[in-house]
């Protein structure tokens, strides 16, 4: 078997790993590069693998940095394979991929309008129609069952993180690779913990929090405090939230706190059509959930969804106190930008970040203390309070990942991916020092034979 790294080597985005035998070729994950422009521009590079030579794409989960490149492969009709994933991933991809196409179209339109493009006219990477067309290649398969693609056998196991997220074991009958995918936290209040990954000759592991530990804080208490503080100032609490995962977790904590009386009852708006759909899906699909039916329903009952643009505009300028959850989670796009523009300059308001903030994003700038921020071509002074609750992260920290890997048989080698360079290197050193594993940080395009 040959393994080649075509993404997520020096960044947390763009996951793409090619596994080949003489007869079979699969791509494990097919993610978009996101974040700073130099990364995003890689999405436009010619993909080094012939699309019609791929037998399957295997997705660990539906986040766009793992699935968002699929429509680029499928849109010219040359892709002959299947997209294999769990039911949860397929259902989430139905929500996320068309939206990604829509955002690409919006961005191209915007660039054309302001003339800020070297390509005239600017084209979207793919359209929402092309993303919709990609969905027909998806085939959901159950976890813990062998799936045959040519001479490769694939098996999914639960990874926590988000609905449907899985680790993937690939074997040619002789040699094997285990891909961690994004690994959730064993203590996640919403999702069942990650299952032990299958032993393999080679392990590919994520390192988003390779150099950080999540603080041992009472998340519920911290959230309650932020809501109470903001309320006392009569302000609005803005929560940029990833539509999938973190939104549901925040809603659950809010519902619990309001029921217990620790969080004041204020209107809660879920201002993201995608987050609304993802929440409905989470309530309907109990595959990975730890919550009871009643707890999942309470999340839904709590919120006032604002799917239409008119409803969204109405709350953008409404008076507080209130809580608005809106995507995107790193404030890179979406409706949260309008809310930030309307609320950032008022010290009564709070912006609360609840997930990982990648380098180059507005979320990272704000959480690192930026005094002004550019939105829609204009600078805004940051006068609102900026808060962050890291424990709400959907990713295990390095200690949790090491403990998760520890029971495995020692692999021949372990490749560390999906981390900013410093996090990835810290993870590599810890794997070596604490588990005595041969750990490497592969560069982009690196290949290994096994």
Residues contributing to the site for Zn ion (CB under 5 A) = 63, 182
Q: Which is nearer to Zn ion, 272 or 350 (CB)?
A: 272
Q: Which is nearer to Zn ion, 112 or 157 (CB)?
A: 157
CB of 182 to Zn ion, least distance (A): 4
Q: Which is nearer to Zn ion, 182 or 271 (CB)?
A: 182
Q: Distances from the Cα of 267 to the Cαs of 289, 306, 321, 326, 342, in angstroms? A: 26, 12, 8, 14, 18
Q: Which is nearer to Zn ion, 62 or 298 (CB)?
A: 62
CB of 203 to Zn ion, least distance (A): 18
Rounded to whole angstroms, how far apart are CA atoms 360 and 374? 12
Q: Which is nearer to Zn ion, 105 or 288 (CB)?
A: 288
Query: How many CB atoms lie under 10 A from the CB of residue 115?
Result: 8
CB of 401 to Zn ion, least distance (A): 14
Q: Which is nearer to Zn ion, 72 or 92 (CB)?
A: 92
Q: Which is nearer to Zn ion, 127 or 279 (CB)?
A: 279
Q: Which is nearer to Zn ion, 338 or 395 (CB)?
A: 395
Rounded to whole angstroms, how far apart are CA atoms 418 and 325? 27
Strand pairing category for 25-30 and 2-5? unpaired
Type and span of the H or E element at 380: strand 378-381
Rounded to whole angstroms, how far apart are CA atoms 333 and 327? 8
Rounded to whole angstroms, how far apart are CA atoms 83 and 96? 15
Q: Report helix, strand or coil for 202.
A: strand
C-alpha dihedral sign at 341, 344, 346, 350:
positive
Rounded to whole angstroms, how far apart are CA atoms 143 and 86? 7
Q: Which is nearer to Zn ion, 12 or 340 (CB)?
A: 12
Rounded to whole angstroms, how far apart are CA atoms 55 and 167? 19
CB of 394 to Zn ion, least distance (A): 7
Q: Which is nearer to Zn ion, 382 or 394 (CB)?
A: 394
Type and span of the H or E element at 70: helix 70-74
- Do 412 and 439 contact (CB within 8 A), yes or no? no
CB of 348 to Zn ion, least distance (A): 34
Q: Which tokens belong to 328?
A: 């995107």
Following CA atoms 172, 154, 404, 87 in sequence, which dihedral angle do they give, to the nearest 10 degrees? Answer: 170
Type and span of the H or E element at 83: strand 82-85
CB of 383 to Zn ion, least distance (A): 32
Q: Helix-strand-coil percent breakdown of the chain, rounded to 5?
A: 35, 20, 45
Rounded to whole angstroms, how far apart are CA atoms 87 and 440? 32
CB of 405 to Zn ion, least distance (A): 18
Rounded to whole angstroms, how far apart are CA atoms 32 and 198? 27
Sheet with strand 56-58: strands edge to edge: 138-140, 82-85, 56-58, 25-30, 16-20, 2-5, 447-449
Q: Which is nearer to Zn ion, 287 or 345 (CB)?
A: 287
- Do 177 and 29 contact (CB within 8 A), yes or no? no
CB of 427 to Zn ion, least distance (A): 16
């Amino acid at each position: 078997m040959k393994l080649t790294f075509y993404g997520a080597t020096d960044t947390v985005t763009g996951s793409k790993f090619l596994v080949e035998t003489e007869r079979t070729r699969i791509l494990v994950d097919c993610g978009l590069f996101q974040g700073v422009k130099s990364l995003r521009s890689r999405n436009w590079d010619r993909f080094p693998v012939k699309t019609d030579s791929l037998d399957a794409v295997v997705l660990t989960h539906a986040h766009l940095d793992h699935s968002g490149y699929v429509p680029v492969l499928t849109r010219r009709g040359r892709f002959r394979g299947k997209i294999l994933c769990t039911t949860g991933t397929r259902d989430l991809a139905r929500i996320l991929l068309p939206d990604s196409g829509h955002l690409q179209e919006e961005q191209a339109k915007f660039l054309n309008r302001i003339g800020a493009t070297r390509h005239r006219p600017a084209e979207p990477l793919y359209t929402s129609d092309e993303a919709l067309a990609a969905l027909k290649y998806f085939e959901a398969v159950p976890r813990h069952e062998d799936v045959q693609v040519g001479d490769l056998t694939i098996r999914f196991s639960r990874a926590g993180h988000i609905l449907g997220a899985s680790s993937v074991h690939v074997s040619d009958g002789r040699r094997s690779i285990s891909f961690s995918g994004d690994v959730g936290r064993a203590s996640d209040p919403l999702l069942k913990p990650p299952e032990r990954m299958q032993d393999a000759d080679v392990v590919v592991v994520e390192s988003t929090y390779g150099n950080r530990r999540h603080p041992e804080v009472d998340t519920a208490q911290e959230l309650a405090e932020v809501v109470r503080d903001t309320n006392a100032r009569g302000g609005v609490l803005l929560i940029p939230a990833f539509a999938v995962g973190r939104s549901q977790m925040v809603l659950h904590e809010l519902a619990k706190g309001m029921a217990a009386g620790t969080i004041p009852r204020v209107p809660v708006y879920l201002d993201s059509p995608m987050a609304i759909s993802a929440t409905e899906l989470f309530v309907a699909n109990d595959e990975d959930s730890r919550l009871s039916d009643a707890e999942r329903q309470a999340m839904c009952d709590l919120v006032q969804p604002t799917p239409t643009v008119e409803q969204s505009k109405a709350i953008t300028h409404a008076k507080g106190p209130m809580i608005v959850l809106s995507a995107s989670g790193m404030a890179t796009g979406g409706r949260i930008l309008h809310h930030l523009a309307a609320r950032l300059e008022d010290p009564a308001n709070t912006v609360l970040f609840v997930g990982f903030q990648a380098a180059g994003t507005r979320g990272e700038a704000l959480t690192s203390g930026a005094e002004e921020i550019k939105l829609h071509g204009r600078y805004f002074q940051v006068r609102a309070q900026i808060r962050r609750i890291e424990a709400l992260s959907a990713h295990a920290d390095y200690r949790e990942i090491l403990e998760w890997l520890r029971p495995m048989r020692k692999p021949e080698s372990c490749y560390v991916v999906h981390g900013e360079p410093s996090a990835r290197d810290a993870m590599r050193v810890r794997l070596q020092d604490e588990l005595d594993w041969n750990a490497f940080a592969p560069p982009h395009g690196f290949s290994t034979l096994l």
